Structures are given as structure tokens and as C-alpha cells.
Chains A and B, each alone.
Chain A
Amino acid sequence: MSLLQARGITLDIAGTSILNNVNLTLGNGELLGLIGPNGAGKSSLLRILAGLPGNASGSILLDGVELKKIKMKERARRIAYLAQDNSVHWPLLVERLVELGRLPHLDNWQQPSAKDLEVIDRVMQQTDVEQLRQRVFDTLSGGEAMRVLLARALAAEPSILLADEPVAALDPAHQLDVMALLQEHCDSGGSAVVVLHDLALASHYCHRLQLLSGGRTLAAGTPNEVLTEEILKKVYGISLRPGFDNPKDAITLPWEPSTG
């Protein structure tokens, strides 16, 4: 059985159709890339998967249970959402910010337990932000900030991570870092849906891709099945250049973080 399943998701806002009968399935350990042109409905779909309020119709099942019937705290422990707008409104210390990720596990008056602090330490290690603990979030670079926010999302120990363009503002090295972290999350039993614009990253890291355009699913499958010349031409109006036949061409393709 799939972990997360969306059926017949339709959303209209002020008479404009945003999503039209979209289906989506996410399996255990799967990294699913949502791609498509601006305005295709990717972010809207991700928000609906995250259970954010709105007037979308259709159903979402988490482990076979209707998402709306799951208590908010319980849902928050199982699905973490990394919004596209990643502003933090007060200049918090990094460790306090990551601690916010444990909120779904705490009652209203409960202080973080030793176990909570252990998880926080672990995710900070995993995302390599330990040395930033005592820094104020506002003073971080874009790459550091995204790793900290990812640590915040992972701190809830969610089985599903939903990330809306987590690499949009990052340089190639940090893009690879973040994608590698998402991959690690999926390799260790989690799953993720990530909205991406970079087709190379999508093809390299995602197990499956779902391509939205005009609120509909135009293609879904492995990267090789989705990123074909014909489909990309139809959706983006771009042509592809197969391979690198001339080594002198100044075209680079960031591929993986260098180790050491």
C-alpha cells in the first residue's frame, strides 16, 4: 500500500482552475519530484498534501486513513512541510529554531525532554549545522539557512517530508547538499515530495517524477519516462541538447557533493 495517496484533487480559486483532478501516490522510501512550469499548481498541490486549509476537493489518504480525520498534532508528527517562503520572523538562535520542529511532540506546557534534545542534536549533525547552534538565524547564508530549516523539518522525525523548492535560491554546491539530504532521508526509510525547477537535479535524485502543467498531470514515471524531448517541448516549449559532444562547451552539470 502506498504511504500517501491523493485522489481527484481539484482546486478552484476565484473561478480560476488551479488543479484539475490530480492524482498522486508516494511509496515508502520514495523521493518524488514535482516538476512543471510556473503556475502549474505544484505548490498548491504540496500545500494540500500538507493538510493546509483551503477549499480543495478530492481525498488524501495517509496510510489508508483520510488525512482530515487525523488529529493535527498526529499529522504534524508524520508529515513535515518546508514552505517556499522560508522567512523566520524573529532573530532566533539556530538551536531554538530547530527545537521548534519538536513542537508536534510536545504538549502545551511540556518542556523538551532528553529524548527531544537528542533528536535535535542528531538532525543538526545530519544536516551539518551543529557549529551554527549559537548563531542568529538572520546572519546565516542562504545555504546554511536552508540546512537549518531542513533540520527543523527533520526534527519532527516525520515519515513524509514535503519541500517546496528547497534549492531555488542556492548555489550548485548547496543545491547538491540539500538534495543529498533529502535522498538520505528517503534511504533511511522516509519519503519525500519535492517541488523542483531544476530538471537535472530532478532527474538525478528523484526516483519518480510527476509533471504538472495547467493544473493537470501531464506525465508521471521514472525521470527517463518523463523528461523526454517531446514532453519537454510541449510543456516548456524548450528543446533539449542530448549529451556533451564538444568538451570545449562551457556547459556544466553539477552532479554530486565532493567528499572530504
Chain B
Amino acid sequence: MNKAQTTGTSTISQRNIISLFAILLGLLFFTSLSIGSNPIPLLRATAEAAGDSPSIISLILTEIRLPRTLIALLAGATLGLCGAVMQGLLRNPLASPGLIGSSSGAAFGAVLVLYLGLADMLQLALPVGGMLGSLGAMLLVYILAGRDASIVTLILAGVAINTLALALVSLILNLAPSPYAVQEIALWMLGSVADKGMHDFWLLLFPTLIGWGLLAGSGKALDALTLGEDTAHTLGFNVPAVRWRLFLATALAVGAAVSITGAIGFVGLVTPHLIRPLVGHQPSRLLTTSALGGGILLLLADMVVRLLPPGQEIKVGVITSLVGAPFFLYLILKTRRVQI
């Protein structure tokens, strides 16, 4: 056979990619614990944290670095995974976890909580507000689009709900009682994993695990959807049921992530794109890899933020968008060149 005809990518085996990513993520996890404005020796800090009178470095480790690292890992993994799921489900490489309104719905819910001043009274208020906003937005998309909606109807419904949620966020900013409140809301919206405690991590963990659980095992259905919804149905998959299960899962997991970290852009969109060529473009092989990849990207971005010169700390959401947007442009140009 003519060699030029063989355009098949020699894909590294799926298991090797997952192992590689997992090792990388592990290394980044420990690096993330030890670096920052004050580098800390991990072993000593861990030993001291276990002792009776915790030292300063052990407090930095357990109260600041550990929650921050865990939250970045969890939120990044959710964004990568949900981005891969949405792109597979809607068969659209431009789909992102926010497409069905979950991010902006969560932002609205959380901002409303901040505006009402509930966040200071009750720690739970912010994440709960975010998740309710996310689920509410998804529910509205569901009602607007209908059970057997076409993909175009779904995307349009998502755009409408996103616009509405962001308009409501603007309204709240507009009505905010003081410049301080405006600043608090605006900074929250930039997206950050800094200044979080272990209680934030626990709040994030449970809805995230439920969301991931609902997404687990959806790979084969997403593979079948490569051939279109009709063919997927005749291959034995109940497409509307699959679709709404995945929407619910995304609303839960992304809603939880956004309500803890604020909106962190481009991780959900870019991660699956980076990984797709490595796994032969197959949706099922993209799930675990994109989850690991999203965790890696967000951890990296957060470490960059910490290593920048001290002063006004740049929010990690700003970094991901600043790096993500040009990178996405580059991807589009590359795709265009291939198509020509």
C-alpha cells in the first residue's frame, strides 16, 4: 500500500497515555504543594503537621497549599472531562462545559449570594447558590429545547440562557450597594483557586463525584454518537436519556467547580483539543485523558500565578484565558490549513 495514503496517526496506547498523565499530575501535585511565595520542605512540613504543635510551614501546607492544590486538581479535571463530554455529545469541537448554561448559571447563583451578603453569614451559601444556579440554567435549557431537541435547538437554547444569566450578573453588578461589593463580585468572577480552605474542597468534592459518577461509562454512547443520533439509537443507545444524564452530570460538576473557583475559561474547551490527536479522535478514549489533562493544565496555570512577582496577584482564570485564547486561535488556523 502506498505510504502517503497512510494518514493514520500512530497512537500511543491508551493505557500508556493515562499512566503518563497520571505520573505527571502526581509530580505537579507535590510540586504545587511545595512552591509559592515561601517554598516549603514537604517532608518536614508533613511530619510537623502530624505532630502535636503544628509549625508555620505545616500550617501553610495543610491550610493553604493543600486545599488550593486539591481544588485546582478537581476543578481542572471536571472542566477537562466535561469539555470532552460536551464536545462528544454535541459533536461540535467548539462546545464547552458552559454551553448548556452551567457556568453562567452558576456565576449568577454565586453572584446573587455575594450581593445579598449571604456568603459572609453562611459558608455553604456560595457553593449552594452556584449549584442551584447551574441546575436552574440547565433545567431552563431543557424546558426551552424540549426532550428530543435537535443539536441546533440545544445550542440556541444554551446561548439564550447564557446571555440571560450574564445579563442578570450585570444587573447585580449595576445594583451593587458599594464599590467594595462590586470589587468583591468582579474579583470572584475572574476565577481563582487561591484563599480556599479544606471546607471548600469538601463542598466541591461531593457534587463533583456525583457528576463524575454519572459521566462514567458514557464513552461507548459517545463513540456511537460519532455516527449520528439515529445510528447511535440503532446501535442500542437511548440517545435522549444519555443526553440528559450527561447534561445533569455536567451541571452538577461544573456548577460545583464554578461556584468554588469562579469562571475559569478555556480549560474545558482547549484540553480535549490538545488530547484528541493522541487518542485517535475517539470520544471514549478522550474522557479519562481529558480529566487528567484538565487537572494538569489548571495546576500548571495556578503555579504560574504563584511564581509571578508578588503584588496584586493575577487570578488563574485570567491566565488560562490569556494563554488559552491565542492557543485556540492557533488550533483553528492549524485545522484550517489541514482542511485546505
Contact = CB atoms under 8 A, between A and B. Distances in A.
B233 A52 contact: yes
Nearest to A81: B234
A56 B7 CA distance: 44
A75 B236 contact: yes
Interface stretch (B23-31, B179-187, B279-287): B279-287
A139 B234 CA distance: 26
B224 A53 contact: no
Interface in B261-313: 276, 280-283
A103 B236 contact: yes
Contact of B227 (A51, A100, A106, A109): A100
B146 interface: no
A139 B224 CA distance: 20
A109 B226 contact: no
Contacts of A83: 227-228, 230-231
B326 interface: no
Main secondary structure of the interface of B (DSSP, over half): loop
Given A90-B283, A103-B220, A131-B1, A72 B236 contact: yes
Contacts of A87: 228
B63 interface: no
Nearest to B283: A90
B235 A135 contact: no
B51 interface: no
B91 interface: yes
A73 B236 contact: yes
A228 interface: no
B226 A100 contact: yes
A96 B282 contact: yes
Given A53-B148, A135-B7, A135-B8, A76 B234 contact: yes
A136 to B, nearest CB: 5
A108 B238 CA distance: 13
B223 interface: yes
Number of chain B interface residues as a range: 20 to 34
Contacts of A81: 230-231, 234
B5 interface: yes
Interface string B202-246: 000000000000000100100111111011011111101000000
B220 A53 contact: no
B282 A52 contact: no
B6 interface: yes
B87 to A, nearest CB: 9
Interface in A70-102: 72-73, 75-77, 79-81, 83, 85, 87-93, 96-97, 100-101
Interface in B37-93: 91
Which of B91, B236, B237, B240 has the most chain A CB atoms inside 10 A of its CB?
B236
Contact of A90 (B1, B7, B238, B282): B282
A73 B237 CA distance: 8
A232 B78 CA distance: 60
B281 A90 contact: yes
A103 B281 contact: no
A104 interface: yes
A46 to B, nearest CB: 10
Contacts of B8: 93, 133-136
Contacts, number: 89
Contacts of B1: 131
Nearest to B230: A83
A222 B276 CA distance: 50
B224 A103 contact: yes
Interface in A142-186: 152, 156
Nearest to A85: B228
Contacts of B227: 83, 88-89, 100, 152
Nearest to B239: A53
A189 B240 CA distance: 34
Contacts of A88: 226-227
A104 B217 contact: no
Contacts of A96: 280, 282
A82 to B, nearest CB: 8
A146 B46 CA distance: 61
A50 interface: yes
B233 A92 contact: no
Given A90-B281, A108-B217, A139 B7 contact: yes
A197 interface: no
A76 B236 contact: yes
A122 interface: no
A89 B224 CA distance: 10
Given A89-B225, A100-B227, 16 more contacts: A51-B234, A53-B233, A72-B236, A75-B234, A76-B234, A77-B236, A79-B234, A81-B231, A88-B227, A92-B281, A100-B224, A100-B235, A104-B236, A108-B220, A139-B5, A139-B7
Pairs A-B, 10 closest by C-beta atoms: A76-B236, A134-B8, A81-B234, A89-B91, A73-B236, A90-B281, A72-B236, A108-B217, A104-B236, A103-B235
Interface of A: 47, 50-53, 72-73, 75-77, 79-81, 83, 85, 87-93, 96-97, 100-101, 103-104, 106, 108-109, 131, 133-136, 139, 152, 156
